[in-house]
Homo-oligomer: A and B are copies of this chain.
């Protein structure tokens, strides 16, 4: 099996599971308990928090553990929007992940917020942020890297523009961790979301970076865990696994350099091998590990099945739309018509994807196309 669906989910790293193991077995204390078993769990949680913070060049007090990227996005957007008394205006883009779009929809429906959607070019790059900002703009939320087409946003620059007008900035970094350096001090963002299962930690692990003293209304209210921002008995094991998986990542720059070269070779080979292939997203300003195409005249679903028969596991787009038959909202937002969008296939790589894997994938793709003739 050649697994090229790493943007959907990744295998748990054995070291992450091993590090979590004691906290699933003998060390089962509740971190809030006032006895040794509880104190040890509390210490493990604090240690995991410090390690996650270090990865992002943040303070430990700025890391909130959550149950995943979607929860992090909701807390980073709804939480900040409800706590910021400035106004009810938010700026975003229609290529964001559903976790962002549906959080914004909730703020519109239930809390009367207004959303300004930034213009997008054919590659999924935004423009016009400065013009979209108002005195009552509470928040700007734009992702680091798109999960379907891989296009990158210049977060530090966008964040500076938002801050100059007094708006907060949240970014969904779920797809970027391990591929683009996420130094929050350099990015300047007020909140940043990550999801463990995208980089070798288990499903159900995640975190939100929230810059010191930024007020947020919790999504989940209760006993006051996670500095009052995310109540509920802490999932110590998954916090430890998350920290461990982060530390095991190759430095982003090194991983990016190697895999970006593989990606470029792969894109070239696919465009050569299949004349009806069209690259989606930006040709160069994109995640090193995502190569995404539309294959004019071919059903993405059918192609996915043919590739799977040949041992190559890919996706027809985002896994997160839960088996929906709708064309990708990302592709339609960048001007691709619904019919062509139905032909989308995303190849997403891991740190250990090899040149040989990708040669084999191109071979499988060519043979699949032979079958369609």
- Measured CB to CB, the nearest residue on chain B to A231 is B70
Chain B neighbourhood of A99, CB < 8 A: 221-223, 231-232
Question: Is A38's beta carbon under 8 Å from chain B?
Answer: yes
Residues in A167-222 with C-beta less than 8 Å from chain B: 195, 197, 202-204, 217-222
Q: A30 vs B301: C-alpha distance in the bound complex, in angstroms? A: 17
Measured CB to CB, the closest approach of chain B to A288, in angstroms, equals: 21
Question: Is A157's beta carbon under 8 Å from chain B?
Answer: no
Question: Is A46's beta carbon under 8 Å from chain B?
Answer: no
Are B231 and A102 within 8 A (Cβ)? yes
Question: Is A9's beta carbon under 8 Å from chain B?
Answer: yes
Question: Is A17's beta carbon under 8 Å from chain B?
Answer: yes
> Which residue among A34, A71, A218 has the maximum number of chain B CB atoms within 10 Å of its CB?
A34
Residues in A1-60 with C-beta less than 8 Å from chain B: 3, 5, 8-12, 17, 24-26, 28-30, 32-38
Chain A residues close to B by CB (< 8 Å) = 3, 5, 8-12, 17, 24-26, 28-30, 32-38, 67-71, 73-74, 82, 97-99, 102-103, 105-106, 110, 195, 197, 202-204, 217-225, 231-238, 301, 304, 308, 313-316, 318-324
Are A221 and B10 within 8 A (Cβ)? no
Q: A195 vs B24: C-alpha distance in the bound complex, in angstroms? A: 16
Q: A74 vs B232: C-alpha distance in the bound complex, in angstroms? A: 10
Are A202 and B9 within 8 A (Cβ)? no
Chain B neighbourhood of A304, CB < 8 A: 34-35
Q: How many copies does the complex hold?
A: 2
Are B233 and A70 within 8 A (Cβ)? yes
Residue from B9, B102, B103, B203 within 8 A of A237 (CB atoms): B203
Measured CB to CB, the closest approach of chain B to A298, in angstroms, equals: 15
Are B219 and A74 within 8 A (Cβ)? yes
Given contacts A12-B25, A33-B315, A69-B233, 9 further A-B contacts (CB under 8 A): A5-B35, A8-B30, A32-B322, A34-B301, A67-B235, A70-B233, A98-B222, A203-B237, A233-B319
Contacts known (A33-B9, A35-B5, A313-B37); A68 close to B102, Cβ less than 8 A: no
Q: A347 vs B13: C-alpha distance in the bound complex, in angstroms? A: 39
Q: A325 vs B10: C-alpha distance in the bound complex, in angstroms? A: 43
Are B102 and A221 within 8 A (Cβ)? yes
- Measured CB to CB, the nearest residue on chain B to A73 is B222
Q: A70 vs B220: C-alpha distance in the bound complex, in angstroms? A: 7
Measured CB to CB, the closest approach of chain B to A80, in angstroms, equals: 14
